[in-house]
Amino acid sequence: MYSGVIEGNTRWCVIEEDGWRKGPWTSEEDKLLIEYVKLHGEGRWNSVASLAGLRRNGKSCRLRWVNYLRPDLKKGQITPQEESIILELHARWGNRWSTIARNLPGRTDNEIKNYWRTHFKKKAKKTADAADKTKKVSLRKQNQQQIKQQQQIQQQQQIQYNFDMKGILELLEENEYSVPSTSQETQEMVTMCPETTEQHGYFYSMLNGNCNVYADESSNEEILWDGLWNLDDVLGNSMQLMLQAKPTNVHNLVTPFC
């Protein structure tokens, strides 16, 4: 790509295969470019090489003139007033540096772009990071709260479930009933239950295999199994009695409740 690196001392420069120079400009090159613009005006940058004797391509010449040699350029640091204008215009137009530069006489788009990158992007990132952090913390809190609430609900459902199951099993034991196999048997059991109509409904739906009133969505099976194991702990032999009442495998046991 490059034919060599020349120019000793402190400056470096590159000459490409096609003869164009690249890298930092020398004061001699600057002088030639200024002379060229004085004589021919701005524009036709590709003619600079032939007319001014510069071994720079048009693009490089234009950039050097626009960003560094133009006489109307303002030297020195960006003032606080300019800074606030940049902020305001960037908020309005985004990264349209040339548009912003037109509103800041003496400043170039490149200068503003660099200034933004070094001063504001950092601040913007900090602000964004801080906002992000706050958002994450609040999300985490929200999640924890949701999990806690869910756990509470599940716990309540579990207690209710165990309580209801206990009632059913006691009832079965008391009346030496087996798990009903027909809807008629179920109906008979429900009517025997000395509870309210609403509780009859629960009872009825449990016996008919509708356990959705106790568990929600994805965790149905998990809760159900947990419930069964807990039920076993709580009721001890009662579950055994139920199993004995109607010999069945585990799958048959689970099915009626979900």
Contact positions toward DNA, by CB under 7 A? Answer: 10-12, 21-25, 43-46, 58-60, 62-64, 67-68, 95-99, 109-111, 113-115, 117-119, 122
Torsion of CA 108, 114, 116, 119, to 10 degrees: -130
Residue 115 CA from chain centroid, whole number = 29
Sheet containing 2-6, strands listed edge to edge, beginning at the edge strand earlier in sequence: 2-6, 13-16, 21-22
DSSP 8-state class, residue 118 = I
Q: What distance in Å separates the CA atoms of residue 29 and residue 233, rounded to the nearest whole number?
A: 92
- Cβ proximity to DNA: between 78 and 213 the closer is 78
Cβ contact 178:121 at 8 Å: no
- Cβ proximity to DNA: between 5 and 192 the closer is 5
CB atoms within 10 A of CB 228: 17
CB of 120 to DNA, least distance (A): 10
- Cβ proximity to DNA: between 89 and 190 the closer is 89
CB of 114 to DNA, least distance (A): 4
Q: Which amino acid is at 97?
A: W
Question: Kindly report the CA angle at 197 between 257 and 225, in degrees rounded to 5?
Answer: 15
Q: What distance in Å separates the CA atoms of residue 179 and residue 175, rounded to the nearest whole number?
A: 11
- Cβ proximity to DNA: between 44 and 133 the closer is 44
- Cβ proximity to DNA: between 14 and 193 the closer is 14
- Cβ proximity to DNA: between 74 and 200 the closer is 74
Q: What distance in Å separates the CA atoms of residue 89 and residue 108, rounded to the nearest whole number?
A: 14
